[in-house]
Structure 1
Amino acid sequence: MSSKITIIGAGSVGATIAYKLSYEDFASEIVMIDINKEKVEGEVMDIEQGTCFRSPISIIAGDYEDAKGSDIVIITSGIARKPGQTRIELAQTNVNIIKSITPEIVKAAPDAKYIIVSNPVDVLTYVFTKISGLPENQIIGSGTLLDTARLRYGLSRHFNVAQKNIHAYVYGEHGDSSFVPWSGANIASMPIDDYYKAMKDLGADLTELDKPAMEEYVHKSGGQVIAKKGATFYAVAVSVVELCNLVLAASDSVATVSSMMHGEYGVDDVCLSVLSLVGPNGVQGKVPMHLTDEEVERLQASANKLKEVIAQLDI
């Protein structure tokens, strides 16, 4: 299947997504759009000069009208998070950028599935949903897909088990109020505590999982990367390309992405991440994983934190 994918924003995240997509069989056309014309032209040249090792692909530095016919539009534009800065502090500046982009890109590609990556992603997904005029199923925030990947990596290291055997998720805001619903986390179909006990019985050299410390790792690791190298872009690019793969697949998959809530778990009129059905028709709905009362309270608290920010914004 050949697909056309447009990426708005040629910064580190957008360029890395384009590079990763350039080696995926499902992408046959990539359009990169950025206000910095020379930067985007340079990124395209650098990427396309390495495409001789794959089947032919079109990669261009374009404008909004070049997005016509896109299957997916990925929005990465925005001011990058600085060391010590929270995602929420970025809110109004990046909301203004989204507001300027939205009418132009929606006019060019009204039928595309939109993946919002810019931070704060939940706030920007909400704003895009409110102002774009598009059906909600076409709008997907990358949400806690990256957080979930970080969680699975951390659990994999702790238990010395392949990440593909781990099913655990991060819910809520892509940020400090996110949390892990441990009641639904498992390894090889076993609750995590049961898996630990079973492995100890088999003689494995393991320590019991410190769940608050693991959540802290998920919360802080992105900031640590930013402090050490200035930005995060490899892991988020892989997560977004996987999300593209889910949207272009023949059947639905389950993933933690951000989309509008309509009363699920008592949460309404805000975008955040819970398990959702994602596929060729976009976001098809929420997967009702059972949460404990405490987990529902944590989800509602995360939603309220986002609502407090949204209430202060000029949308």
Structure 2
Amino acid sequence: MIPHRTVRGSKIAVVGAGAVGSTLAYACQIRGTAATIALYDTDTAKLRAQVLDLRHGGMFTPAVEIVGADDVAVCADADVVVITAGVRQRVGENRLALAERNVRMCRTLVPDLCAVAPEAVFVVVTNPVDVVTQAVLAASGLPACRVLGSGTALDSSRLRSLIAARAGVGVPSVCAYIIGEHGDSAVPLWSGAFIGSVPVTDWVADGRPVFDEAARAEITTAVTGAAYEVIAGKGATNYAVGLAVTGVLEAILGDQRLILPVSARVDDFHGIGGVCLSLPRVVDRAGAGPLEPVTPDPAELVALRRCAEVIGDACRAVGVRVPA
């Protein structure tokens, strides 16, 4: 990740002060991602406690103003609005099962956020993130580039860490992406995965391929099941997603033009269009920019089309319009 400097006058509004929202705020505070971090939550006592706890560490972090309120006005004039609020995923629960409750919340919340932060880029973290991103886009009426979900940024980090561990290299030496849904139908883009300049599928140790079909299948299962394992053990995922979203926010506020696998509306990618799903694309101050000109192999395209169908069906099931 490119070292970040606080953008003078920049403001991040975090909607939801639960495990993910507070961890995200903490990550942004210690990295100095923005000049102001505003937390909004309807649980007044919890919100105040989170704000105080963050402020009390101010001696040891960059100069960041931490504010919070149970009034949406605290988000006024934010450069980026991050939506983390929503019903928590239960142990063993599929992310798509969350859709109806969290989409309903966003339909009420998003117009108020747009009214107080009309120039903001919206970043959705609430699960199921692809469906909720589609709902936020519809409810906001914003240009598609200004609404993106955290998507598979975290999944891709998980993939890279597993590849690095098996190859015996540092994680920054790996370039690999998970694409499609942030969920059970996620697709590892093995055809575009590299360790240094070597395709992952060509990586050998002691004369043997390290990432044969069985190894790739094992890694894929570990990536798609990671959230369930963490939730089963401690009730929620928060640290890694907080760091992943902080990276996305820094790309936006710093106009870094990083290629990141975020969820945004796809208009035409090898015949796939109309839904929000994750593909590597440029992320900058305008939000979700152009797609990386990647061509998945035939099997990956079949799986990606299935992802689009899963997301589209979930959207329609909760009344979120999906363009034909």
TM-score by length of 1: 0.95
Pick from 99, 104, 117 the counterpart of residue 112 of structure 2.
104
Structure 1 48/299 Cα, relative in aligned 2: closer, same or farther at 3 Å?
same
Give unpaired runs (5+ residues) of structure 2: 1-6
Q: Would the aligned equivalents of 2:137 and 2:147 in 1 still touch at CA under 8 Å?
A: yes
The superposition leaves residues 44-88 of structure 1 with CA deviations (integer Å, 9 ceiling, x where unpaired) of 000110011234321111222221221111000100000010000
Give unpaired runs (5+ residues) of structure 1: none
Q: Which moved more, 1:49-58 or 1:77-86?
A: 49-58
The residue that corresponds to 2:188 in the other structure is 180
Displacement of 1:26 after TM fit?
3.1
Q: Which moved more, 1:38-47 or 1:58-67?
A: 58-67
Instruction: Output the CA distance in 1 between the equivalents of 2:39 and 2:285.
Output: 22
Q: Would the aligned equivalents of 2:31 and 2:62 in 1 still touch at CA under 8 Å?
A: no
> Matched residue of 2:188: which SS?
coil
Structure 1 206/172 Cα, relative in aligned 2: closer, same or farther at 3 Å?
closer
Instruction: Output the CA distance in 2 between the equivalents of 1:150 and 1:11.
Output: 23
The residue that corresponds to 1:26 in the other structure is 33
Instruction: Output the CA distance in 1 between the equivalents of 2:319 and 2:295.
Output: 36
Instruction: Output the CA distance in 1 between the equivalents of 2:110 and 2:61.
Output: 33
The superposition leaves residues 182-203 of structure 1 with CA deviations (integer Å, 9 ceiling, x where unpaired) of 111110111112222xx435xx
The residue that corresponds to 1:73 in the other structure is 81
Displacement of 1:38 after TM fit?
0.9
> Matched residue of 2:270: which SS?
helix
Instruction: Output the CA distance in 2 between the equivalents of 1:164 and 1:55.
Output: 25
> Matched residue of 1:264: which SS?
coil
* Identity across the alignment (%): 32
Partner amino acid for 1:289? V
The residue that corresponds to 1:46 in the other structure is 53
1:105-254 aligned at under 5 Å gives the runs 105-196=113-204, 199-201=205-207, 208=212, 210-254=215-259
Instruction: Output the CA distance in 1 between the equivalents of 2:211 and 2:135.
Output: 44
Instruction: Output the CA distance in 2 between the equivalents of 1:25 and 1:19.
Output: 10
Pick from 7, 10, 32 the counterpart of residue 17 of structure 2.
10
1:264 aligns with 2:272: no
> Matched residue of 1:99: which SS?
helix
TM-score by length of 2: 0.93
Instruction: Output the CA distance in 2 between the equivalents of 1:20 and 1:307.
Output: 33
Q: Which moved more, 1:208-217 or 1:114-123?
A: 208-217
Q: Would the aligned equivalents of 2:13 and 2:37 in 1 still touch at CA under 8 Å?
A: yes
